[in-house]
A and B are shown apart, each in its own frame.
Chain A
Amino acid sequence: MLIHKKSDVLPSEITAHDVYVNRRQFLKAAGFGLAATAAVSSGLLSLSAEAAANIKRGQKISGFSKTAFGADEKLTPFDDVASYNNFYEFGTSKSDPAQHAGSLKPRPWTVGIEGAVKKPKTIAIEDIFKLAPLEERIYRMRCVEGWSMVIPWVGFSLSKLINWAEPTGNAKYVEFVTLNDPMQMPGVRVPILDWPYTEGLRMDEAMHPLTFMAVGLYGEVLPNQNGTPMRLVVPWKYGFKGAKSIVKIRFTDKLPQSTWMKAAPDEYGFYANVNPDVAHPRWSQKTERRIGSGLFSPRIKTQPFNGYADQVAQLYAGMDLRRNY
């Protein structure tokens, strides 16, 4: 009987004869090719940092009232606000979120209320819109990287949502958790940060009338890349405190460790108050570049608490802000 044993080497795996004969030549050419490709492709990479074009406009929000906040400020153009974002869940370059956040589905959306509350509950985003009268506030936003914007947010004071959540006496801090869904957020497939993104506030900071829960900007629902359907805005703190696309709000008695505190504790602290006198280890915080002012305009001076010191400085009375950065 003839037993026909199949070769365990597939025909496709067999090196062609001429390649085998010329293997040294082949290795040389491969090395040469690799060196050249490495040099050229690395250069082309910077080409891909192209500015994002044609930002889609969102649905108009009806029935919000204007306020006096920031009435004297010059607004950062919508296209800049919606094309220059740090939202690592969609990639780490500034143009990534505008390009990739299309996969985020803002409806249906619920937010879970957990921890030190009378009763844990969830609330649908539609009901959040009806929780309190919506208002427009123009706030300055200062990023820890040394740039800033002026943004007309639509939303309500976070205190309204907190009162509805009914925290107990044990609630000393509030933690905000961003959506962590690799299907909707390509960036979380890469372990660049410890997902999900979390941020936190002390209770008195969270209850401060300036602390804002935004559901829109420029009179429209939040663009996906700006943290739709609901994001935190704390105007006297660096921008990374403003957790985006929030799915969970948790009340705790212990100081929560935020994502950036875990990633680089010597660079990012819990308070993250805008402070020109406390430098980031890699850059000074004395000045900032106002986005939208063009190629030929100098930096402007950064204000303590981002210019909101009158309203918030007393929250930190007696604290060493150098240590509590």
Chain B
Amino acid sequence: MQPDKQQIAWIKAALFVLALMPLARLFWLGFTDNLSANPVEFVERSTGTWALVCLLVTLSMTPIRLLTGMTWQIQLRRMTGLFMYFYACLHFITYIWLDHWFFWEEITADIVKHPYVLVGFSAFVLTTPLAITSNRAMMLKLGGNWKKLHMLVYPIAILAVLHFWWLVKKDIREPLLYALALALLLGIRLYYRHSRSRALKPAPEVRLNQQH
């Protein structure tokens, strides 16, 4: 499958609308008074979850290429990555505004003292330069360094999953699911990198394996 330019534009438009749905849902639940008994926690959890989902979707573009050979979906990666930052910003704003009402002393103490907050905050800070350098001009300007900089997405993803993992009190089943998804996405990359470096060695049996 290789959509043409026109189709890509449609796919992008559809994805854009789809990615705004979690936000629309929050507004809808807010207007209908359905944000649970603890609406601040609800909004905080929801925006954080969707930031993590957007991040995992962003990280799945390369595994899809490796597994299927398809490449067109890479064109969606910038948008899903920016949506991750969008939801991370909403998550952070909810935290400093609705949760702590700009009580900086308390916020600073919370970030410094509590590992789960610290890793989440670090992930957010590290994502900022990636969002800023996501446009074409910055890509051209940074040249080869752009790719190096954007390798930051891997530590960011690990910090984000840790943030969720350390937050839960006892039942780790939900963060475990995200950790497994991330492990799978990173594992596919590692597997292909490993098998490619093996394939580069001039060993005859490897060549045999390749002509399936």
Contacts and interface: CB of A to CB of B under 8 A. Distances in A.
Contacts of B64: 32, 35-36
A291 B40 contact: no
A31 B184 CA distance: 9
Interface stretch (A162-170, A281-289, A304-312): A281-289
B212 A24 contact: yes
Interface string A226-265: 0000000000000000000000000000000000000110
A137 B30 CA distance: 32
Among A52, A145, A192, A298, which residue has the most Cβ atoms of chain B within 10 A?
Answer: A298
A287 B106 contact: yes
A286 B34 contact: no
A320 to B, nearest CB: 21
B53 A94 contact: no
A39 B53 contact: yes
Interface string A37-50: 01111110111011
B170 A92 contact: yes
Contacts of B46: 46, 49
A306 B138 CA distance: 54
A79 B210 CA distance: 63
Contact of A42 (B36, B56, B110, B166): B56
Interface secondary structure of B, over-half rule: helix
Given A39-B181, A83-B37, A31 B53 contact: no
Interface in B99-125: 99-101, 106, 109-110, 113-116
Contacts of A281: 114
A45 B184 contact: no
Given A35-B60, A299-B101, A46 B49 contact: yes
Contact of A43 (B35, B49, B67): B49
Contacts, number: 128
B161 to A, nearest CB: 11
A294 interface: yes
A125 B120 CA distance: 48
A40 to B, nearest CB: 8
B166 A282 contact: yes
B43 interface: yes
A71 interface: no
A53 B49 CA distance: 22
Given A35-B185, A79-B37, 18 more contacts: A35-B63, A38-B180, A38-B185, A39-B53, A39-B181, A42-B181, A49-B36, A51-B35, A51-B37, A51-B42, A84-B37, A95-B36, A147-B41, A190-B171, A193-B170, A282-B114, A286-B106, A289-B38
